[in-house]
Each structure stands twice: as C-alpha cells, then as structure tokens.
Structure 1
Amino acid sequence: MKKIKVMIAEDERLAREELIYLLEQEEDLEILESAINGKELLALAEKHIPDVIFLDIQMPEMDGIQTARMLRARMKKLSIVFTTAHEGYAIDAFELNAVDYLLKPYSYLRLKETLQRVRTRKAEQAETPVGAKEEAASASKLNKILMDDGEKIVVIGPENILYAMREDKVIHLYTTDHHYTSSKFTLNELEEKLQGCHFFRPHRSYLINLNQVDELIPWFNGAYTLTLKDKNRTKIPVSRVSAKELFKLL
C-alpha cells in the first residue's frame, strides 16, 4: 500500500508534537519533516513533495495563507489542511480549495474526519484519466467567487460579474447589481480563477466579462475604449497591445 505523505507546518512545539503523535496512529500515513514557518515549509515541500500539508496560519516570517498561495502555484495536486485557533481565515482557506479547516483545539475524532477527506481527494486524483487532467483543471476554475461584504460572505457566479478593477492593492469587483472590494487576492489570481469563463485583460488594471461587451470606440495610437452593457454604460480602456487579441476573441 502506497502511503500518503504528510507534512506539518506549525511554529508551536507542543501543538506540532501532538499532531505528529495523532497522525502516527494512522497506518496509511508517512510523516515527513516538519516546518516551523512558511519559508522553511516551501523548501521542505519542494524537497519531499508531500501529498498533504497540515498548515498553521499564524506563523512567523510568512503566514499560512501566503505560503499556501505559493504552494498552490507549484504543486497543483497538493492537499492543504489549515489548522488555526482563529475563524477569520475561512474564506481565504476555501478560496485556496483547502481540504479542511481545523479549529484548535480539535479532537482526534475531528482529525479523523479530516483524514477521510484527504483520502477521498487522493483517490479521486488517482482515478482521473490522464487525458482528462487538463479538462478537470479547467473545470476546477469555474468555481464561485467568495466575497466578504462586511456582514456576510457572498457567493458570486462568474456570469454575474461585469468587470474587476485594480486600484493600489485593492480589487474592485462589479457585478450586475453590486460593487465589492477585496484585498484578499490580486487581479492575476482572480483572472486565474475565472479562466475558461470568457474573461479578458484589456488593460493591466482591468479584467472584463466578454459577454458584457457592447461596443468598442477607437481612441488613439491603436488603443480603444470599451463600453459594457450595464445601465451605467461603463467605459473600460483597451491598450494597443491588447486590442488585437480582443478582436480575435470577439
């Protein structure tokens, strides 16, 4: 039986040792070296290629959310389980497609539920035909977008998004009936999430829904101004470099 390779990133020694002890009770797990911060984890993960990482969020030097984003870019099949004493990072965790979100202190029974989810995901990955990998990866990017409006978490379908705009380090996302702001992810990350959903970058600071484009007006030096179908007839700049590709897509 091929064992599931497990890595732990936890800066508190007692919490790390307790988790190692509990995981050692499972016969199908191989416990790898542990890390005490995000930077160390990145190096160890590249060295050992774990199947799953139990990742604390509040760690020195680099927090767990930032580390998870970097790991996601390098290791597409990696399963991540966040372990934290704080509830406020749940949105970030599930936007990163985490297997689970363990709130400390957790019981052995709760941990076993998490491990079952890890095993299920591992089995699903093993059953995915080679020819279907690209299709599955594309489908995984059709997930809903989660936005926090200050009072509740809002689930947004890609089809309802008009455009997104980057301003300083904040993303402004406009839907057909609302405006949301977020500093939780970058425009590049949002574009990756929406890949395969008819979105396009006409300008480095904008991401638009191609299904919402109404007209294009020539500007100067090969650039254009794009008008969306919303009631405000929103105008979006189209750079000269992006214009040629945009016409192909339209």
Structure 2
Amino acid sequence: MNILVCEDNKFQAQTLVDHLKTLEYIDHVDVVNTGEAMISAVLEKNDITAIFLDIDLPDMNGLEAYGILKMRGKHIPAVLITGMKPLASDTYHLDIIDVIEKPYLPPRVEEALRKIRLHIEYQRFIRVGGIYVPIINDKIIQVVPDDILFFESCSRGVKVHIVHDTIEAKYIPLKVYEEYLRNHGFVFSHRAFLVNTNKIAAVNDEGIFFKGEKERKALVAEERSGLIRKLLRRLDILPT
C-alpha cells in the first residue's frame, strides 16, 4: 500500500508516518499539509492506495478537499482524522472508510488500515466478476479469476497456475472449472489446458504465453490456435 497523509500538524503527521512505516504491507508514505496539495498529489500520481486525511486544514475543510477528488474521478479510500467527530451524514455520501478521533493509539490506525484493505479487496472482487474460484487440496483456497493464468490437467488432478505460484488441486475436474468460468474469459486451448484470455500476452507455435510470466506457458492444439487468435483479436488483446 502507498499512503498519502494530509495533516498540517507536523508532530502528528510525523508520528503517524513513523508508525505506518513499521507495517510490512506499507510500501511508501507521502505527506502533504493542505487540501490543495492533497488534490494535486492525487491527480499527479496513479499509485496512491489510501489517504489519511485531517478534517481541519489551513486552506479548506478536509471533507471538501476529498469531495473535490471524488468529483475529479479519483475514488481513493480515505480515513478521516479529527479532533471533533463529524456527523455520519457528512461522511457517508463521500464513502469515507473510517473516522479516527484524536488522540488515538497505533492499534486504532491498524484497525482503520484493516478496513481499507477489506474495502480494496471487495472492490477488486466486484470488478473481476464477483466470484471466487475454489482450489481444493489439503485445504480450500479461494482466488479471484483475475489471479489465474491457466489450468493444466495432470495425473494427480489439476495444476492451477496463478500469479507468482502454482497450486495442485484435487476433486474438481478441468471441465467443471471450464463450465464455471466460461463467462469470465476462460477457454480450452488444448484438451489439458484451460486459459484465461485476459492474461494472454502472445500465441505462437510454441504455445500460449502470459503477461508478466517468462517461463510458464500453456499448450495450444493446432485446431484451437486459429479460434483463440480470432477471439483475442475480437477482444483487442492481440493486434489484427
């Protein structure tokens, strides 16, 4: 997560930054001290995950600044930090994730971050179709379709190739996965391979290659190669 802290009190800003930097899932923290600076920072950058926002800023109300961002199409989850808790009606329509009242302790910040992470995961879940794909071996793992590159049938079941990992699955045959994911861009490239067309980077005689993946590839049957290329061109994934 990359956090933007908007706080005009230098001591409070530094205290918050120091704590955020101790958390392993926080990659970077930036600090601004006015509403205008916050708006500019968000509009200029595309990697801000969440905002910690003071309500009482020198140039404008923090909620007003956040509302301007929403009107500019920037829907970034925010946590409001304030010495005087606003009315729920003032924050509800802006989708403020949490409100922290000053003074606060570090566990309260971590609780707010947990809410942000759940919010981000839910939004991603909805964006990729609102379903989980079950992978069963000694335990049940659930992933979203967007995390899957391809399925590969093997003697012990099915190998599920996900981003940065491969998981061996039991009990669910490849055909069942195909029926479940048919409307989410998954097609057979070979009788033993079910591929996510949204992740394909290239198709050639050697097989199907995937975005961000240098080694793993899926086989493509000769009779399926032309159909898959045609589908990818229709989806603007491959050039015409």
TM-score after normalising by structure 2: 0.50
1:18-167 to 2 correspondence within 5 Å?
Answer: 18-49=15-46, 50-130=48-128
Aligned counterpart for 1:14 among listed residues 11, 17, 30? 11
Identical columns (%): 26
Q: Classify the secondary structure of the residue corresponding to 1:6.
A: strand
Amino acid at match of 1:47: E
Separation in 2, partners of 1:90, 1:84: 13
Q: Classify the secondary structure of the residue corresponding to 1:123.
A: helix
Separation in 2, partners of 1:6, 1:111: 12
**Deviations 1:184-209 (CA, angstroms, capped at 9, x unpaired):** xxxxxxxxxxxxxxxxxxxxxxxxxx
After TM superposition, give the deviation of residue 48 of structure 1 in Å. 2.0
Is residue 4–residue 50 contact of structure 2 (8 Å, CA) maintained in 1? yes
TM-score after normalising by structure 1: 0.49
Runs (5+) with no aligned partner, structure 1: 133-250
Separation in 1, partners of 2:35, 2:104: 22
After TM superposition, give the deviation of residue 33 of structure 1 in Å. 2.3
Larger radius of gyration: 2
Is residue 5–residue 31 contact of structure 2 (8 Å, CA) maintained in 1? yes
Distance 1:47 1:88, change over 3 A: same
Separation in 2, partners of 1:103, 1:21: 19
Amino acid at match of 1:102: I
Is residue 69–residue 75 contact of structure 2 (8 Å, CA) maintained in 1? no
After TM superposition, give the deviation of residue 40 of structure 1 in Å. 0.7
Distance 1:27 1:95, change over 3 A: same
Runs (5+) with no aligned partner, structure 2: 131-240
Is residue 20–residue 31 contact of structure 1 (8 Å, CA) maintained in 2? no
Separation in 2, partners of 1:90, 1:10: 21
